[in-house]
Amino acid sequence: MIFIVVKFETKPEWTDRWPDWVASYTAATRAEEGNLWFEWSRSLDNPAEYVLLEAFRDGDAGSVHVNSEHVKRFFQEAPQALTSTPKIISQTLDATGWSEMGEITVG
């Protein structure tokens, strides 16, 4: 699996509208055959920062994603909404999804 974490810091005038602005990009990515998940969160420490957790089945699925029209459009348009270049961690993991946390058991 390709596991990716990206941090986006938005300009003040874009912060509250970011979720609506990325909605079509998010839906198109989630519809990709090789996408495992594509989830946005907002930082508790910096409300202008959005964190994206995404995963793809393998490198081929990641390549399809990066070369899709919706990603090309997002890469072209996103800088207008951001204060800086996004920060990213991208790793290939020997996993297929989330595991339960061993240190906390519920139920």
Reading the chain (107 residues) residue by residue, the pLDDT tens digits are 999 999 999 999 999 999 999 999 999 999 999 999 999 999 999 999 999 999 999 999 999 999 999 999 999 999 999 999 999 999 999 999 999 999 999 98
Which CATH number is associated with domain 2-92? Answer: 3.30.70.100
pLDDT at 107: 87
pTM of the model: 0.93
Tell me the C-alpha to C-alpha distance, in Å, between residue 22 and each of 55, 58, 96, 100: 17, 24, 26, 29
Q: Which of 23, 18, 21 is nearest to 8 (CA)?
A: 18
